[in-house]
């Protein structure tokens, strides 16, 4: 087990505290539950404050940050988006997306790589992610409990499927803190967050969420987790499996009569949406339809083909990026995620290194995300770029700290 005493006096600094608040706001989205926060633009405000504090502190860029594969590929993907904007099916929508949504996501990704410069900071960041998860799962379960036989929406941003994907993505970080953190309070919070998140997934009645949770449980069970005793891993698997089975009756009906499921037979089902979006991609293979324009492109395509002009997303993160950025953009996007996971696997393969354990659980978080992300439009989700930023930070620490002690905590 890593020892925290060697870096317990590490100065985290005001800018890092601002980054943690930014993380909480991005994941938990308290503004969706506390409407009075919406006019205050909390994401924009904390973004500006964090950058300003980093400037005042004189926080320097890690040496060689732009040599990191994740950083280069994210910037390249943004460049592809920018190049395609003048040719978008709706230039106004694409321009708005690139000047509002993507800058905040890109800055958050880069700040994550810059701020998470020690294992101690990685653990604290993971702790904030767990607290964020506990916050939104608690509120979701309270709301879902009031719905009898219906699917409760999570917030203004997350529908039940989105909420389930969020919960499945961050359960592995709960497990990481459970095994890595020495403080009892954080361990208790981690167990509570993991159990509530698992219950929330089942109560959302999201089949994609159930699949994501099952993937996390199965991979955790089958994998050899670095620096963790086998009995501890089995206990974690049993705990999650117990919640899964206890609540399965809630979602069981969603898996019945799959042959007649609306996704297979309805005009707005996923199969039909995927076919139509592939046709749109075939018409715009190089530059795509413009970032943020997949729903507009589908509506225009349906109107032209004589169908109902409904504005729907592709319901697949890969297809979403492909339709909006073309084949070059989706190629960069796939390579970005593939290499991030491969780098994490390489770090966790060095089992004696303190970073091997967080590398495993971040890799597991990627699997949880992508098990559901293939069925939902989350190609630009800040949660994905949080994982990509943490992956890049782990790789940087591993590459630039040959002696594990300086980055151990």
Query: Whose CA is closest to 367, among 165, 137, 227, 194?
Result: 165
Confidence at residue 279, expressed as pLDDT on a 0 to 100 scale? 95
pTM: 0.92
Q: What is the mean pLDDT of residues 220-236?
A: 90
Contact between 407 and 401 under an 8 Å Cβ cutoff? The reply is yes
Give residue 147's pLDDT band: very low, low, confident or very high (50, 70, 90).
Answer: low
- Spatial contact of 150 and 253, defined as CB atoms under 8 Å apart: no
SS3 call for 347: helix
DSSP state letter for 153: P
The string of pLDDT tens digits covering residues 260-273 is 777 887 878 889 89
Question: How many distinct helices (H) and strands (E) make up the chain?
Answer: 15, 0
- At 148, the pLDDT band (50, 70, 90 cuts) reads low
Per residue in 326-339, pLDDT (tens digit) is 999 999 999 999 99
Whether residue 7 has pLDDT greater than 50: no
Query: Which has the minimum average pLDDT: 6-10, 69-73, 275-279, 336-340?
Result: 6-10
Q: Per 3-state DSSP, what percentage of the chain is helix, strand, and coil (rounded to 5)?
A: 75, 0, 25
Average pLDDT over residues 313-335: 96
């Amino acid at each position: 087990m890593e020892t925290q005493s060697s870096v317990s006096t590490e100065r985290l600094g005001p800018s890092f505290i601002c980054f943690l608040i930014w993380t909480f706001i991005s994941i938990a989205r308290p503004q969706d539950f506390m409407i009075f926060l919406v006019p205050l633009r909390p994401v924009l405000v904390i973004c500006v404050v964090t950058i300003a504090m980093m400037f005042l502190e004189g926080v320097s860029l890690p040496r060689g940050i732009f040599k990191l594969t994740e950083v280069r590929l994210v910037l390249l993907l943004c460049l592809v988006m920018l190049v395609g904007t003048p040719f978008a099916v709706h230039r106004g929508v694409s321009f708005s997306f690139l000047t509002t949504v993507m800058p905040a996501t890109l800055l958050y990704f880069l700040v994550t790589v810059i701020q998470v410069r020690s294992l101690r900071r990685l653990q604290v960041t993971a702790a904030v992610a767990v607290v964020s998860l506990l916050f939104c799962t608690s509120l979701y379960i309270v709301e879902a409990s009031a719905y009898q036989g219906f699917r409760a929406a999570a917030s203004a941003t997350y529908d039940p499927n989105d909420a389930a994907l969020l919960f499945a993505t961050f359960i592995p970080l709960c497990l990481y803190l459970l095994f890595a953190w020495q403080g009892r309070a954080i361990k208790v919070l981690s167990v509570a967050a993991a159990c509530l998140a698992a219950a929330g997934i089942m109560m959302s009645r999201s089949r994609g969420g159930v699949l994501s949770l099952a993937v996390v449980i199965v991979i955790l069970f089958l994998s050899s987790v670095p620096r963790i005793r086998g009995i501890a891993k089995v206990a974690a698997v049993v705990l999650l499996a117990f919640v899964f089975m206890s609540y399965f009756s809630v979602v069981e009906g969603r898996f019945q009569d799959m042959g007649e499921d609306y996704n297979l037979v309805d005009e707005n089902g996923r199969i039909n949406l995927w076919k139509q979006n592939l046709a749109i991609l075939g018409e715009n293979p190089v530059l795509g339809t413009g970032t943020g324009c997949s729903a507009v492109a589908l509506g225009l395509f349906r109107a032209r083909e004589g169908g109902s002009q409904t504005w729907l997303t592709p319901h697949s993160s890969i297809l979403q990026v492909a339709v909006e950025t073309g084949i070059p953009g989706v190629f960069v996007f796939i390579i970005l995620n593939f290499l991030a996971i491969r780098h994490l696997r390489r770090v966790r393969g060095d089992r004696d290194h303190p970073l091997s354990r967080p590398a495993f659980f971040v890799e597991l978080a990627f699997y949880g995300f992508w098990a559901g992300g293939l069925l939902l439009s989350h190609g630009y989700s800040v949660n994905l770029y949080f994982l990509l930023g943490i992956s890049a930070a782990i790789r940087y620490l591993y590459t630039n700290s040959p002696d594990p002690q300086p980055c151990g905590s």
